[in-house]
Each structure stands twice: as structure tokens, then as C-alpha cells.
Chain A
Amino acid sequence: MIFTSFEFVLFFLIVLLVRPWLRSFEKEKWFLLGASYLFYMSWSVPCLGLILFTSLVDYWVGRRLGRLEGEGQRKLLLVISLVLNLGVLGFFKYTNFFLHNVSAAASLLGGKIALPHLDILLPVGVSFFTFQSMSYTIDVYRRQLQPCQNCRDFLLFVAFFPQLVAGPIVRAADFLPQLMRRVRGTAEDVEAGLALFALGAVKKIVVSDQIAPHVEMIFASPSQFDALTLLQGALGYALQIYCDFSGYSDMAIGCARIMGFRFLDNFRMPYGALTITEFWRRWHISLSTWLRDYLYFPLGGNRRGHARTYLNLMLTMLLGGLWHGASWNFVLWGGLHGVALATHKYWMAVTGSATERLRGVPKLGWNLCSFGLTLGVVLLGWILFRARNLVDACQMVSRILTWETTGARVLSPQILAALFAVSLVHLLVSKQNNWSEELLQRHVLVRVLAYSALVLLIVCLGATDASPFIYFQF
């Protein structure tokens, strides 16, 4: 049941229509929990047991952590929660990757270990709900959060359907307080939510789904195309994954907002970033802040000297890459971003402020260089991320860098139009503010025109067969 399907629209309408009829907030929360589980069961019925089991264990751990004072016992409980969540994630996501690599390593060393490929079903959204659940127990352990006193509320926090399968990774500190008193979507909430949902749908079915076949074609056989086509493919994938994932996030945030719940932004015009650090402050914000708070900071962050800071950044990004999937492509993608972030940090440490050092260079010129460099790193990352294997990725990169002119030149009108449109939006819309909030302040006529434009784009240019969201596989 993806957000752009008729079945989801029907499901969501039923949820919206039934809610007001439930007299008490308690009943409403039970209803939302039931609806969330039903939503998840539309993906996989057996995996519901998994989400229920991990949630119940983390709820129990949270309660116990709230009662215990002894550090040893508290640490043990935290370890139980972490082992469980990471164990679930590791087993379902990385078992075959591990087995395959053990076999490969053994054959490299001259040995022969025939390890089987296990037929393990990857539960949809496992990376998201385990991270969400883990953040709760860690926050309670750190005494930054009071343990949740109501099992149903905790289950709803983990399984709330708008964010269940592909985020944003919502923190308990942000969501659980919203379950303390009954929330109702005000007219402003409904308007902003609908606008976000429509914007997300435009990103997904008008941009991402329309360019997907062309991007797929280029990445399927990179040796067949010239450098310009390959560059177009890399740019196309950058747009596809951005519009796909941020579109999903917009729709998730929009759905929650229509019901009166607030989620934090997950994307803020990432391709407008001038540095790689800024990129990560704008891209998948809920994951990057999670990695910062629960991995980078505990590793020591930037408080243990330069070398350790760079190492911490590398480790964080390598694990962040691995979080995306069981493949060396993702690890390399994470490694590349780790190197880029460490290099940027080093540059900033050496120069103090890059702009200060290059005072003579016009600001526009400097910004353009900085933007180009950042985009180059990001594109290189996306090639590693998307390519079928490392050989393809290397081939694609080398053909672009050597500006290979042999091979077919395929200029896709869809990718070019999408590039133009997304670039225009990045140039015209403020990077700092949330546009749906800003739009609410505008004159009603402006809003009518803006919403009409969004709906018109959907009904005229929306792809018929919406493909699943890319991040569902993570």
C-alpha cells in the first residue's frame, strides 16, 4: 500500500472519517494502532510479529530503565535492547551478505567454504523502525527521556503508519508528547498537510517515476553509452532518488499533519548545498541527526582531536552507508561521504573559514566552485550507490572522467525537463524555510493557484503505474 495508490487514499480517508467518531482519545489511539498494523500487514503479515516483538521488548526495557538506579543493570538492559535491535537488523538484512563475503574471503585465501544463500525475507521498513525503537531506549538510558508509561502509546510511536516503512525516523521525544493530549488537525494543519502530500506526489509520480525507466536503462548497461549520456544518467538518478525519497517524506509528514501530528523536516533542498557538510544537514535529516546523536557523538565526536574526529566521521558514514543495504556499493558510498566530510572538516580547520581565506575571489565565483565540488562528490556517490556492481560503477566513472565519446548518445527529454524544473525550484525557493508553512501566509488566491498547479501536474503528467519507493528496500 504505497502512498500514491488508490488503496492508500481509501485507507487514509477511512482513518480520517472514523477518527472524529471515536469519543475518547484512548479509543482513537487504539484505532490508530490498529490502522497502522493493518497498513503494515498490507506489506507483510508475518513481519508484523517482528515489529510487535521488538517494540514490546523495547517498551519493557524502557520501563525497567526508568525504575533501576544501578548503572551496571541499566547498561545490561541497554545492551539487551541494542543486541536485539541490531540482531534483528543484522539477521534479516546482512546474513547473506556476511555469508557471501566469508565464502569470497575463503576462496581468496585458497580455501573453499560453500555457505548457502539463505532465503530470508527482508521486512519492509526494518531499518527505520529498529532505529526509531533504539533511539528511545538510548534516550531513556541517558535519562534524556522519561520512559513511556503506556504500552499502546509506545507501540503506536514505533508503528504509526505515516512513518512506518520509510521514515522519517521520528524520535520518541518528539512524538510521545503528542500522544499525551488529543490532537485534531486544525484547518491550517489540514491545508499544510494536503499541500505537502500533493507536493510529495508531484515529486514521486511526476518526476521520479517518469525518469526512472530512462535512468534504469543507462545504469543497466553503462558501457553502451557516451559520457554525456552517463552524466545525464547520474544526474537523473540524483533527481530520482531525491524526488522519490523526499516525496515519500513529504507525503508522510503531510499525512501526519492532516491528522494533527507534527514530524520534523527530512529534506531541505539538499542539492543547493555549498559544502558536503551542509548537504548532510539537508539530506535525510532524520537519519543524519540519528547517526550524529547515537553514533558520532558516542564515538567522541570532535572532542578527541583532529585525527579521531576524522576517524569518527569515517566510521559513522561507513555504517550509515551499510545501513542502506547489504552491499559493498553502499559501504563505498558511505566511505566516500566520510572522506568528503573529513576533508571538509580538515579544510575548515586549516583555513579557519574558507571564504575568509579566499577573500579576493568574488563570492559568487567561490560559491559556484564550492557548489560544483559538492555536487561532483554527491554525483560520484550516487553512481556508487546505484550501479549494479562495482565494475559498472568504475566503468561509468571512468567513461565520464575521460569524456568517452564512443557509445550511444541518448538524451532523455524527461530527465532534461526534470533537471530544469528541479534546478529552477532550488533557485527560486528559499533553502531556509519550509515552503508549505510559508505558503500558508500568502494570499488565498496565490494558494489556490499553487494548489491548482500541483494537482494539474499530477493529473496531466503523473505516471500511471507508480513504482515502489526506492527507500522501501532499505
Chain B
Amino acid sequence: MNRRRQLVALVLVPLALTSLASHLTIGFLGIETSPRFREPIGRPGGSNTICAAGSSLTFYGLDWDKIAAVTDRPVTKCGVPAASPCELELIYETVPNPDITVVGISVYDLNEYFLSDFRSEVVPLKAAIRDLGASGADWPFTKRVVSQYLLSWLRILFPTAGRSTGVMVGMRAKARGLLGKARSGSETGPSLNALSPAAARIEDWPPGRMWRNLASTRASCQGRIGFGGPKRLALKRLLSRAVQRGRAVVVVLPVSPPYYNEFIDEDVSLLFENLLAELKRSTSEILWVRLDLVSELHSTRYYWDLVHLNVEGQAIATEIMIHRLKELAVIR
């Protein structure tokens, strides 16, 4: 073989081998790669349905089975992991005729710099660029968002690309399995498919684990927090659409005290409140449930990780939610 052909082989064969290994790794470690998520709960039937749209915080934070049972309405859960309004507004359109729409938001998942891994697979590039332009996003952030689309194309060949956290967590879980240790729920990260809420409490975390989680969370949003970008625009559109389709409720979910202490200072808090005020002004028909202001939930006892409520927190939040929905005459 001449040197040129050998070079071509030396480039193509490793790429082919790596692609194969990458596909096998995804399968072996069971990494979630399909983004769309819609799950019906409660009695079957098309009328008087509740659509619950949000990220994993919404589904860990509230017991939708209970809400479906209390209201005697079918609930359709819709979202993708780490969903933001950008993805939700598109997934929401696939839900047929919701009577009531409940949108879960929080100071965590409305942070513009925290991007869902599945954003590029749900939001068309054209729409993303339009929103980036409309919100006056800076160049580094624009590059970051657009890079997600390139990454999604790369993932056709290498599905593990950009999923290093999933690979590392999966490998650790497999290693624990091989060593005969139980797979810890919190190790695998939150999942929208979690059927049973997690019982663990962050108050039991050793300090090291808390520090590591704070560091990872900071890295995932590159240490930046802002609420004035594409997520804000998408949320406004989502809420307008929800009002058109029926009654709309926004639930502001709480995050854990360590998260607040680390990331939410007065300025950030003010920015977030300004965003909520703007939403209230622009869509006055929206009903609001502020679980983030419930003082009882401001305890590490009720959190499974930095941002997700555990089973105890979920019970409290669900009770308050049902009570509030009744107060607002959304349900009887």
C-alpha cells in the first residue's frame, strides 16, 4: 500500500472503529439519547386534560399521579431532560387540546446559560438563531448554542460526543454493579422517567459531595447566570399559547438552600423577580403558584440534590399545589 492510501486508511479505520465503539458504549451504559418525552397519567380520555410541562424539577417536585387522582383528570407530562421553555414550547404543541396547562419553572432552569443537551434536537436551528438575534445574545453564547447543532450532527457518527458526564456516571454505575454495590439513584442523575421519587436527602451528603456538585453545577452554566435570552422569549410565547388553549398555571419551583447560597445573590434574585413581573404583565390571565416562596421547603431535608425535591419535599409541594389550585378555582 502506498503512503497516501495508508494515510487514508489510518484516518478512516480509527474513525470507523471509534464510531462503532461509541455506539456500543451508549447501548452498554444505557445513556438516554432520545429527547422527546410525553407520558400520560391517570384515566384515559381526551377531555379535560392537564398538561404538565417542565424540566425534571417539575416531575420530581410534584406528584402528578396524585394530582391526576385528586382532580380526576388525565395528566400529560411533557419535557426533555433539563428542559427549558425553548424546548417545551415545541413539545407542548404536540399535546392534543390540554384544558389546563401547568408550566414548571425555576431560577435554575430559566438560567439562559444552562443549556439542555437536547435543545438542538428539539429546537430548529433557524428558530434558535432567530431567538438569539431577538434577545441580543452575545457572541460567545451564540457560538455555544450553535455549537450544539454541530454536535448533534457529530453525534450521528459518535453518539457519546459531548456526553462525557453520562459516560462517566454510567461507567461508575457499571463498576459499582460489577463490585456488587447497589447503584445509587443520585449517582445516575435525575431522569424524567423516574417513576418513584427519590428518598435521599442532601442534608446527609458529606461535605465533599456537596462541594463537587456545586462545582459541576457552576461548570455546567460556565459560572454565568442570566434570564434575558431565548428562554425568556420562548416562555412568553409558551404562556401566551397556553392561555389560548385553556387555563394556564405557572409553578415556580424551589431549589435547595445550598444552591441559593452559592448562586443566587441579590442581583440574580432581582433579575429573576423582574422576569416574573414582566411575564405577569404580558400575560395577565396566568395563575401563579410560588412554591419557591414556601418557607417550609427552605431546608436541605427536602432535597434529593441541589435542585430536585425528594419524596418528602414532593409531598409538601404537592399538597400546597393542590390547595392552591383549588383556591384559584382551577380544580374543584
Q: Is there a chain B Cβ closer than 8 Å to A281's Cβ? A: no
Q: Is there a chain B Cβ closer than 8 Å to A26's Cβ? A: no
- The interface residues of chain B lying within 8 Å CB-to-CB of A410 are 207-208, 211-212
- Closest Cβ–Cβ distance, residue A453 to chain B (whole Å): 8
Q: Is there a chain B Cβ closer than 8 Å to A409's Cβ? A: yes
Establish whether residues A465 and B144, one from each chain, have CB atoms under 8 Å apart when the complex forms: yes
Interface string of B188-231 (1 = CB under 8 A from A): 00000000000000000011101110111011001000000000
- Closest Cβ–Cβ distance, residue A420 to chain B (whole Å): 14
- Closest Cβ–Cβ distance, residue B221 to chain A (whole Å): 9
CA distance A140 to B276 in the complex (A): 66
Q: Is there a chain A Cβ closer than 8 Å to B328's Cβ? A: no
CA distance A224 to B211 in the complex (A): 10
Residue of B18, B144, B206 with most partner-chain A CB within 10 A: B18
Establish whether residues A191 and B211, one from each chain, have CB atoms under 8 Å apart when the complex forms: no
CA distance A7 to B142 in the complex (A): 12
- The interface residues of chain B lying within 8 Å CB-to-CB of A210 are 164
- The interface residues of chain A lying within 8 Å CB-to-CB of B18 are 452, 455-456, 459
Establish whether residues B147 and A6, one from each chain, have CB atoms under 8 Å apart when the complex forms: yes
Q: Is there a chain B Cβ closer than 8 Å to A460's Cβ? A: yes
- Closest Cβ–Cβ distance, residue B217 to chain A (whole Å): 9
CA distance A190 to B219 in the complex (A): 35
**Which range holds the interface residue count of chain B?**
35 or more
Does more than half of chain A's interface fall in helix, strand or loop, or is it mixed? Answer: helix
**Which range holds the interface residue count of chain A?**
35 or more
CA distance A190 to B5 in the complex (A): 12
Establish whether residues A455 and B143, one from each chain, have CB atoms under 8 Å apart when the complex forms: no
Interface string of A439-466 (1 = CB under 8 A from B): 0000010011001101110011111110
- Closest Cβ–Cβ distance, residue B280 to chain A (whole Å): 33
Q: Is there a chain B Cβ closer than 8 Å to A404's Cβ? A: no
Establish whether residues A461 and B14, one from each chain, have CB atoms under 8 Å apart when the complex forms: no
- The interface residues of chain A lying within 8 Å CB-to-CB of B6 are 187, 444
Does more than half of chain B's interface fall in helix, strand or loop, or is it mixed? Answer: helix
Establish whether residues A408 and B207, one from each chain, have CB atoms under 8 Å apart when the complex forms: yes
Interface string of A395-410 (1 = CB under 8 A from B): 0000000000000111
CA distance A339 to B330 in the complex (A): 75
Q: Is there a chain B Cβ closer than 8 Å to A293's Cβ? A: no
Establish whether residues A460 and B22, one from each chain, have CB atoms under 8 Å apart when the complex forms: yes
CA distance A214 to B213 in the complex (A): 10
CA distance A216 to B207 in the complex (A): 17
CA distance A80 to B232 in the complex (A): 55
**B 1-38 contacts with A by CB, 8 A:** 3-4, 6-7, 9-11, 13-15, 17-18, 21-22, 25
Q: Is there a chain A Cβ closer than 8 Å to B168's Cβ? A: yes
Q: Is there a chain A Cβ closer than 8 Å to B158's Cβ? A: yes
Residue of A214, A217, A409, A464 with most partner-chain B CB within 10 A: A464
Q: Is there a chain A Cβ closer than 8 Å to B160's Cβ? A: yes
Q: Is there a chain B Cβ closer than 8 Å to A393's Cβ? A: no
CA distance A53 to B297 in the complex (A): 61
Establish whether residues B211 and A459, one from each chain, have CB atoms under 8 Å apart when the complex forms: no
Q: Is there a chain B Cβ closer than 8 Å to A107's Cβ? A: no
- The interface residues of chain B lying within 8 Å CB-to-CB of A213 are 215-216, 218-219
Establish whether residues A459 and B212, one from each chain, have CB atoms under 8 Å apart when the complex forms: no
CA distance A229 to B32 in the complex (A): 33
- Closest Cβ–Cβ distance, residue A439 to chain B (whole Å): 11
Residue of B3, B10, B151 with most partner-chain A CB within 10 A: B10
Chain A residue with the shortest CB-CB distance to B17:
A452
Establish whether residues A212 and B219, one from each chain, have CB atoms under 8 Å apart when the complex forms: yes
Contact of B164 among A187, A224, A409, A463 (CB under 8 A): A463
- The interface residues of chain A lying within 8 Å CB-to-CB of B160 are 459-460
- Closest Cβ–Cβ distance, residue A436 to chain B (whole Å): 13
Chain B residue with the shortest CB-CB distance to A215:
B215
- The interface residues of chain B lying within 8 Å CB-to-CB of A216 are 215, 218
Chain A residue with the shortest CB-CB distance to B1:
A444
Chain B residue with the shortest CB-CB distance to A10:
B150
Establish whether residues B208 and A408, one from each chain, have CB atoms under 8 Å apart when the complex forms: yes
- Closest Cβ–Cβ distance, residue B104 to chain A (whole Å): 25
Establish whether residues A190 and B143, one from each chain, have CB atoms under 8 Å apart when the complex forms: no
Q: Is there a chain A Cβ closer than 8 Å to B177's Cβ? A: no
Residue of B3, B151, B158, B215 with most partner-chain A CB within 10 A: B215
**A 203-252 contacts with B by CB, 8 A:** 210, 212-214, 216-217, 224, 229
CA distance A191 to B7 in the complex (A): 7
Chain A residue with the shortest CB-CB distance to B208:
A410
Establish whether residues A188 and B164, one from each chain, have CB atoms under 8 Å apart when the complex forms: no
Establish whether residues B167 and A448, one from each chain, have CB atoms under 8 Å apart when the complex forms: no
Q: Is there a chain B Cβ closer than 8 Å to A430's Cβ? A: no
CA distance A214 to B168 in the complex (A): 15
- Closest Cβ–Cβ distance, residue A231 to chain B (whole Å): 14
CA distance A448 to B1 in the complex (A): 15
Q: Is there a chain A Cβ closer than 8 Å to B162's Cβ? A: yes
Establish whether residues B222 and A409, one from each chain, have CB atoms under 8 Å apart when the complex forms: no
Given the known A-B contacts A408-B207, A448-B13, A448-B17, are A187 and B22 also in contact in the complex, defined by CB atoms under 8 Å? Answer: no
- The interface residues of chain A lying within 8 Å CB-to-CB of B214 are 217
Given the known A-B contacts A190-B7, A409-B207, A464-B151, are A448 and B14 also in contact in the complex, defined by CB atoms under 8 Å? Answer: yes
Establish whether residues B164 and A214, one from each chain, have CB atoms under 8 Å apart when the complex forms: no
Contact of B10 among A224, A451, A463 (CB under 8 A): A451
Interface string of B124-158 (1 = CB under 8 A from A): 00000000000000000001100100110000001
Q: Is there a chain B Cβ closer than 8 Å to A375's Cβ? A: no
Establish whether residues B164 and A456, one from each chain, have CB atoms under 8 Å apart when the complex forms: no
Establish whether residues A5 and B143, one from each chain, have CB atoms under 8 Å apart when the complex forms: yes
CA distance A410 to B219 in the complex (A): 17
- The interface residues of chain B lying within 8 Å CB-to-CB of A188 are 3
Contact of A456 among B4, B13, B21, B216 (CB under 8 A): B21
- Closest Cβ–Cβ distance, residue A10 to chain B (whole Å): 9
Contact of B143 among A7, A186, A456, A464 (CB under 8 A): A7
- Closest Cβ–Cβ distance, residue B298 to chain A (whole Å): 22
Given the known A-B contacts A6-B147, A451-B10, are A464 and B162 also in contact in the complex, defined by CB atoms under 8 Å? Answer: yes
CA distance A216 to B9 in the complex (A): 41
Nearest 7 CB-CB pairings of A with B:
A213-B219, A408-B207, A410-B208, A217-B215, A187-B3, A452-B14, A459-B158
Sample (19) of A-B pairs whose CB atoms are under 8 Å apart: A191-B7, A210-B164, A214-B212, A216-B218, A229-B208, A409-B206, A411-B208, A413-B172, A451-B11, A452-B13, A456-B18, A456-B21, A460-B22, A460-B164, A460-B167, A461-B164, A461-B167, A461-B168, A465-B219
A217-B218, A408-B211 given; name 4 further pairs at CB < 8 Å. A217-B214, A412-B212, A462-B161, A462-B162
